[in-house]
Amino acid sequence: MDARFAAMDANRDGRLSRDEVKDKGRFAERFDALDTNKDGALSKDELVAGRPVRK
């Protein structure tokens, strides 16, 4: 997840803005659900917490 997060974090501020994930399909779709603290950006913790569990 670290490498993927870094790849999406275009401005390297450690958070993913809505703009940064707008072309990332499922992240854009789930942005509001993933942004659990509603600050308008996704932290790495929020992504990890909202990550679909694969069985």
DSSP 39: S
**Token pair for residue 5?**
């997060």
Q: Which is nearer to Ca ion, 27 or 35 (CB)?
A: 35
Tell the smallest beta-carbon distance from residue 55 to Ca ion (Å).
27
- Give the H/E segment covering residue 32: helix 31-34
Site for Ca ion in 1-55 (CB under 5 A): 9, 11, 13, 35, 37, 39
One-letter amino acid of 54 = R
Q: Which is nearer to Ca ion, 50 or 55 (CB)?
A: 50
CB atoms within 10 A of CB 33: 9
Binding site for Ca ion (CB under 5 A): 9, 11, 13, 35, 37, 39
